[in-house]
Amino acid sequence: MDLHAVTQAAAEMPHVTGYMYPNEAELHWSILIVIYPYLTGLVAGAFILASLERVFNVRVLQPVYRLSLLTALSFLLIAPLPLLAHLGKPERSYEMFLTPHSESAMAMFGFVYAWYLMVVLLLEIWFDYRRNFIEWSKTKKAALTRLMYKVLSLGTTDVSEKALKFDDKVGRIITIIGIPSAFLLHGYVGFIFGSVKANPWWSSVLMPIVFLFSAIVSGIAMVLLIYMVTSMFRVKEISMPCLNRLAELLFYALIVDFSLELLDFIQRLYESEESIHILSDMISSRLFISLIVTQIMLGTLLPIFSIAMARFGRFPDEMKRVTYLFAALLVQLGIFSTRWNVVIGGQLFSKSLRGLTTYKLDVFGLEGILVSGVLLITPFIILAVLSRILPPWMESGHRAST
């Protein structure tokens, strides 16, 4: 190739820095794969938050216990859709159950997902609501509504003290089982990326742990957001002790998550492998806005500072609520940026470590912004429907009379 051809090729690819082979300039994982770990992280984080009240008796979190469970269920129902849409033939997904391939981490997700949905979440919600199902099947005015709750109660009618204690005991056992299940559900996502040794941006033993703690951060922030917004729409007073404890948990989880990410970065600098130069170029150019500005400054440091000032400073409750809401929104932005930087960032440099490319996000199409927006909005619609059928906001403690 002569000099003129090289110059013309460079002019046609202004987004490419350095040298890349033709088969390295295309990114195989799109925004759908960014949304997938973001959704599963919300599921794991919301469930772990619910377990604090159920297993560890953090009674101040009782107002958001059921809300956390329904939030986890709503996002879990949508979590596999980004993967199915990206695979191209979602109608063949059933084959992972008929012909299981134990060496495929992606295939094993189907079994982890089915276990978590069918055994953990649905069972815990059923045992927690069983008494309400029986009561609502007798007290609701509409005949169709009474029939629905009778079906949901699975024909049980025993509301004796012994039966209610059994429900509580079994529910607690399921929650204990669900905690490691939640870790497995999202930790394995980090395991998939961390096990790709050929990619220096992903290959880190801390990747599963970082993913897990960022999931806890996102889940707590999401429940805090939903609790505040739904309380305002229902014109109900927000429990400040509960809100303050949520803010504290979010504050501590943010610090741990940021410390782990900082430790991972320091380890990479200390090792100073041959990839450190291309990674430095990528951070300073392609990922500067999404990593330095959005993830670290706006999504981590500013929320930590804001929550610390509001929670431990002398501020009126109204100012605290506004600050918590603002911080939780920034955290969601930061966690989504984290997923973006991991998934997209790991594909922006060549395997030869000689050049960088960019990712062009489409508006339309199966892997565009519109479809991604639908996938992100749908869990909230499901949560709104579930909240009508299974009201999570009980005026008194949901197990107070058991």
- What are the pLDDT digits (tens) for 312-358? 888 899 999 999 999 999 999 999 999 999 989 888 887 777 778 88
Structure tokens at 364: 């339309």
Task: Kindly state the average pLDDT of the residues 300-315.
Answer: 92
Task: Determine the Cα–Cα distance for residues 309 and 320; give it in Å rounded to an integer.
Answer: 9
List, in order, residues 6 or more apart from 69 with CB less than 8 Å away. 46, 47, 50, 121, 124, 125, 128, 392
| 223 touches 246 (CB < 8 A) | yes
Closest to 60 measured CA to CA, from 320, 245, 324: 245
Q: What is the pLDDT of residue 95?
A: 76
What are 95-128's pLDDT values in tens digits?
777 777 776 666 777 777 788 777 788 999 999 9
Mean pLDDT, residues 286-306: 94
Per-residue pLDDT, averaged over 134-154, amounts to 89
Return the higher-pLDDT residue of 58 and 187: 58
Give residue 195's pLDDT. 65
**349 has which bridge partners?**
356
> 3-class DSSP state for residue 26?
coil
Instruction: Report the distance separating Cα 228 and Cα 243, nearest Å.
Output: 8
247 vs 14: CA distance, rounded Å: 45
Task: Give the residue-averaged pLDDT of 248-269.
Answer: 91
Q: Look at residue 11 and tell me whether its pLDDT is greater than 80.
A: no
Residue 184 is predicted with a pLDDT of: 78
